[in-house]
Amino acid sequence: MKETEIKNQISNNKNNKEEARKLHNLIKTRIKNEKKEYRNKIKEAKNELEKKELKKEAKNLFKKGLLKEGTFNNKYIIELKNVQKYYFISKNNYEHVLKGINLKIKEGEVVIILGMSGSGKTTLLNIISGLTNFNEGSTRVLNCDLFYLNENKKTKFRANHISFVFQSYNLIQSLTVNENIKIGENLRPKQKEKIEINQILESLDLLDQKNKYPFQLSGGQQQRVSIGRALAKNPTILFADEPTGALDEEKGKDAMKIILNINKIFKTTLIIVTHNPNFAKIGDHIIRIKNGEIAEDSYNKQKISIDQIKWT
């Protein structure tokens, strides 16, 4: 074979190898692109399926009254329509406790519910918080219609969103101040922002009492611990039923300052039930209950401080 032919053959072999390499890279790139396109199509299909499932679930919740059409309405955190409550004494005898209650409460308000003993104010609080069932009407709290929740779901709802401060302190006597407050923290949903225990203790002026037991505290201090326990859960709504009922004026005003400060610092919606009409002057929203009906539903244009009100 001539030298020229050998050189041409070598050159052809090189060209063939180059062509083969280019073809290999082209096929490799095409396969890679096709795989990427295939993965994207799978991802899109999954997203579409998830959207359909979410729409289906939302539709079911909407039908059941557990979800409003559209997004959450931040204007009203609580809404009651024509709520009726009866207590049946015997077959043909009943007590009509709440009579057609219509009520709207905005997020972040300090709401004062006033009324004489037996007026229905505590029953109203219990219905709003899901502790008591109602017979007719609609009660929507945090966009959830409580009528459609069974007892287990109501318990979970309260655990996630609501705290209580009662007239009785309900502290665990074998636990320290710090440990009693931590009970509330342990009930806090994971998605809720954590409020540091020391921050709570400091705001309640209990930091130097954190290792004491309830029996070593005054009545006012014990009430502050119960407030701290309620706050540690970082609730969306805090209900207080006669929170100063067992306290004298000085300790009662101190407790109310702390409760009102919770609203100021943490923007918690406060619903305070009391028989003391002077409390109307410290709230944003005043609801007066008389014989099971709303006798007054008004807003306070000129609030005063707790120190300025007459206690009795």
Domain contains 21: yes
6 is written with which tokens? Answer: 């050998």
Do residues 46 and 93 share a domain?
no
**pLDDT, averaged across the chain:** 82
Buried b (16+ CB within 10 A) or exposed e, 204-213: bebeebbeeb
Do residues 99 and 29 share a domain?
no
> What CATH number is attached to the domain comprising 258?
3.40.50.300
Do residues 50 and 141 share a domain?
no
Per the CB < 8 A criterion, the answer to whether 129 and 164 are in contact is yes
Domain contains 69: no
Domain contains 137: yes
Do residues 37 and 164 share a domain?
no
Measure the N-to-C terminal CA separation of the chain; round to a whole number of Å. Answer: 124
Domain contains 70: no
Tabulate helix, strand, coil % of the chain (nearest 5): 45, 20, 30
Do residues 85 and 46 share a domain?
no
pLDDT: is 37 or 242 the higher one? 242
pLDDT band with cut points at 50, 70 and 90 for residue 242: confident
Do residues 224 and 302 share a domain?
yes
pLDDT digit string (tens) for 28-48?
Answer: 777 777 777 777 777 776 666
- Residue 91 CB partners (closer than 8 Å, separation 6+): none
pLDDT digit string (tens) for 195-204?
Answer: 788 888 887 8
Helix (H, G, I), strand (E, B), or coil: what is residue 87?
strand
295 is written with which tokens? Answer: 């006798």
Domain of 3 in residue numbering reads as 1-64
The confidence score (pLDDT) of residue 190 equals: 63
Do residues 269 and 143 share a domain?
yes
pLDDT digit string (tens) for 74-90?
Answer: 579 999 999 999 988 87
The confidence score (pLDDT) of residue 179 equals: 93
Do residues 210 and 250 share a domain?
yes
pLDDT: is 196 or 172 the higher one? 172
pLDDT: is 20 or 307 the higher one? 307
Per the CB < 8 A criterion, the answer to whether 114 and 274 are in contact is yes
Do residues 195 and 270 share a domain?
yes
Residues facing 111 on adjacent strands: 271, 285
Least confident of 61-65, 189-193, 224-228: 61-65
Q: Is the pLDDT of residue 96 over 90?
A: yes
Q: Is the pLDDT of residue 231 over 70?
A: yes
Domain contains 227: yes
pTM over 0.75: no
Based on the structure, what is the number of domains in the chain? 2
Residues of the chain above pLDDT 90, percent: 35
Domain contains 251: yes
Domain boundary, last residue among 20, 39, 64: 64
Helix (H, G, I), strand (E, B), or coil: what is residue 286?
strand
Do residues 180 and 251 share a domain?
yes
The confidence score (pLDDT) of residue 83 equals: 95
In the numeric block, the tokens 């109307």 are attached to 280
Do residues 126 and 211 share a domain?
yes
Section 236-263 average pLDDT: 85
Domain boundary, last residue among 64, 95, 114: 64
pLDDT digit string (tens) for 108-132?
Answer: 999 999 999 889 999 999 999 999 9
